[in-house]
Amino acid sequence: MRILIVEDEIKVARFIENGLRENAYTTKWAKNCVEANDYLAEGGYDLIILDLGLPDGDGLDLLRDWRTCGFNEPVLILSARDSLDDRVKGLNIGADDYLPKPFSFTELLARARSQLRRSSQVRQSVLEYRGIKMDLLAHTVSYGDRSIDLTNREFALLEILLQNKGRVLTRTQIGEKIWDAHYDMQSNLIDVYVRKLRNMFPEHKDPPLIKTLRGVGYSIP
């Protein structure tokens, strides 16, 4: 597994590189945007760890460019700024996870492994979670032995959340996937469907099936 580390501070970079190498990952260090672009263009990386405070440009802009160009390697953002706003912005642009500084290496490793696991995973056609079975091809959902009727929108929302189990999805991300392109952010449509889904599985009231992350979005843990 090859991991690209984009980080300007040499001490932090070394800290991460050493830790990852001890865990049998191959690492490459880019100390600014230009180097990052060069290395990424070579291809073959399984994960990118991206620090936001770079000397020659904003990390978020860099990420946006990558996503526009079609690079879809998983990106884990590191940032000293930990406002909710930054986190949401990062996720919306296409980051896969967000880790505020300071962080413990154990935590970084856990998140990195989680991303690598997700991306290596084959696209399943049957999703399963807490007794809920979702057949994407047959377009059916069942809980235990009883079948559940979901409308298209309900189905789409549940699918997105399950496909991204363990990740927080912002309303923007969900909106773009279901209503491709321009989801009206004024609307509370997503909230409405989250509620419908929750009511459809009353067995999962505690802990709730879909968790709300105030100021960020929703997730299935």
Partner DNA sequence: CGTCTAGTATGAGAATCCTAATTGTAGAAG
Partner DNA sequence: CTTCTACAATTAGGATTCTCATACTAGACG
Q: Which is nearer to DNA, 116 or 156 (CB)?
A: 156
Q: Which is nearer to DNA, 67 or 177 (CB)?
A: 177
Q: Which is nearer to DNA, 144 or 215 (CB)?
A: 215
Question: What beta strand segments (E) does the chain contain?
Answer: 2-6, 26-30, 47-51, 53-54, 57-58, 75-79, 97-100, 126-129, 132-135, 140-143, 146-148, 169-170, 211-213, 217-219
Residues 6+ apart with CB under 8 A from 58: 52
Alpha-carbon distance 52 to 43, whole Å?
21
Task: Mark residues 50-89: x for contact with DNA by CB under 7 A, - for none.
Answer: ----------------------------------------
Our CA dihedral for 198, 202, 208, 213, rounded to 10 degrees, sits at: 20
215 binds DNA (CB under 7 A): yes
125 binds DNA (CB under 7 A): no
216 binds DNA (CB under 7 A): yes
Least distance to DNA, CB of residue 31, Å: 34
Alpha-carbon distance 141 to 155, whole Å?
8
Contact region with DNA (CB under 7 A), list: 52-60, 72-80, 114-122, 209-217: 209-217
Task: Name the site residues for DNA (rule: CB under 7 A).
Answer: 149, 151-154, 179, 184, 187-189, 191-192, 194-195, 198, 212-217
